[in-house]
Amino acid sequence: MLLVVMAHRCTLCEATRRATILPDGGVRYSHPEYAATRSQDLAPMVHDCGRFYMAKTELYLSKGSFLMRGCRSLYIDPMRAQDIDTIEDWKLAEFKFRLMQEGEI
């Protein structure tokens, strides 16, 4: 049996309500079909937080992705995970770390 574990954090509407900045400075929804939908009415989504992955090497190499049949996930509390792409993300990660050190989360 194939077992793939992908850690993730839950996001309610991050991807479906995301907008793209156009070359002329305008914006448009990446998923316009959800533009009029309240975020609380959208299905919960997950985001890969890159903590750890497990898979059979030959399956991963043949698929080129961890998202495959038999994939399973492990919930990671959003307060204990942070995607770091910007200096603001780094500051948020440091803030969360301090809260963890103080036993607040």
- What sign does the CA torsion over 63, 68, 70, 74 have? positive
Instruction: For the chain, give the number of residues.
Output: 105
For the chain, how far is it from start to end, CA to CA, in angstroms? Answer: 36
DSSP code for 92: H
Q: How confident is the model at residue 51 (pLDDT cuts 50, 70, 90)?
A: low
Predicted model pTM: 0.60
pLDDT tens per residue across span 66-98: 777 777 777 777 888 888 889 999 999 999 999
